[in-house]
Structure 1
């Protein structure tokens, strides 16, 4: 975790740039996260350290629906933590359960593109165009994760989960800058999918297995899903409201 007294953390970047406003609660896409860590720490944080047998076992066994290979899931976990790191404000992607959110989404319609037109012809799309690949998101994520591990072994002779945080950032930045060759899709597009899914997992309703304990909302001061605001709507004071999940409305 970046030391808040030394340099600038990536979460500071979100705060000071204005990107961390309420728009992100809806899972918007933002840029410039990777590489903003001026410390280059190793990114293996509490609750998700690859060297912690207990946490690693928990990561591998807690309700996975898509990933059958624990190593794939661990690569995904460390990559999301680099995009949304734990710091003095609260938990990062691993602590928020973002990897489980992505795993569950890949196992469903999101991963299979079940509700989207997926017939040819297929051409390389412009940056302003939407989904253009013949591959499903599940196939893109699986290929991207494998390539992250391959790049780590090629560059540093280690698995992705064993390299330093700055080295992870180097690889992720090359995906972002479209410097990694992928089949059927650009690495830039994979990076955008990964980044967007990470943010959505951090701020989605906990009913989808991310945003654990609504900590993502609490960091934003977002109230979640309230039945009504009639008791405070005319009060001019800023209201601090304990967030509620959709699940609380089902009782």
Structure 2
């Protein structure tokens, strides 16, 4: 049974509430397209400066490649996730953290395709305590939700969603959150919004191997150590020990 989350003070940003509520790390799903992500090698190349000194030049991040989205779908997702987890004085937002790439990789995976789930009807409406069994695959629901978001934006403002002012984007996302005045093929507006919200938080705090949490900045904002091999050296210490976070990728390249 999930615990009720604390109510955020009005003076806090939405992201500050998520940061301290404890919901983000606990709800993160670590799964997806590992094969393409493993190809990302974050070792640095070296180059010669005009003075002949050696300088580090970062390589390209090959995990930032689209596997499912069209460019327009990616841009819409990037803009929507940024409104759910916006950049502020606490740190980077969803766009800077690469959340849209995380979502793209998840939708391209077996999880996005409901590959290991029974998807044949009949689909009977569940009781309020049960919920409804999904009759549409996650990647299809997300695709239809993005289309509905763009259609609603064009109808209301005659602009693409990513071209709207932040206040207008929040207004449209609010309609989806409440399920008002919006129709999503194969599902509901609330189902799409909840999927988008969960995806966003997971992308902020999942291992960078899966496309989001760029440079482990999501973890660093929470002083979360990531995937450490051992804590034996600090277990007996009374004081708090701040550890530089480590990704699964770090352990892979170390062996």
1:1-251 equivalent positions in 2, closer than 5 A: 8-14=12-18, 18-19=20-21, 21=22, 23-27=23-27, 62-67=64-69, 69-126=70-127, 128-130=129-131, 132-179=133-180, 180-250=182-252, 251=255
Displacement of 1:131: 5.5
Q: Secondary structure in 2 aligned to 1:233?
A: coil
The SS at the match of 1:243 is coil
In structure 2, what is the Cα distance between the partners aligned to 1:145 and 1:118?
Answer: 22
d(CA) in 1 for partners of 2:106, 2:28: 17
**Cα deviation code 1:95-130 (max 9, x no counterpart):** 111100000110111211001111101234455435
- Structure 1 residues 227 and 131, CA, compared in 2 at 3 Å: closer, same or farther? farther
Could you tell me which runs of 5 or more consecutive residues in structure 1 were left unpaired when the two chains were aligned: 1-6, 30-57
> Offset of 1:9 from its aligned partner?
2.4
What's the RMSD between the two structures over aligned residues? 2.1
Distance 1:124 1:229 in 2: 47
Listed one character per residue, the Cα deviations across residues 123-148 of structure 1 (whole Å, up to 9, x for unaligned) are: 34455435623211111011000111
SS at match of 1:95: coil
Cα distance change of structure 1 residues 87 and 216 upon mapping to structure 2, 3 Å threshold: same
Aligned length: 210
Question: Are 1:27 and 1:204, in contact at CA under 8 Å, matched by a contact in 2?
Answer: no
Supply the distance in 1 between the matched residues of 2:202 and 2:127 (Cα, whole angstroms). 24
**Distance in 2, Cα, partners of 1:181 & 1:70:** 23
Q: Is the radius of gyration larger for structure 1 or structure 2?
A: 2
TM-superposition CA deviations, 1:27-82 (whole Å, max 9, x none): 369xxxxxxxxxxxxxxxxxxxxxxxxxxxx9xx9410001x21111001000000
Partners of 2:189 and 2:128 in 1: CA distance: 13
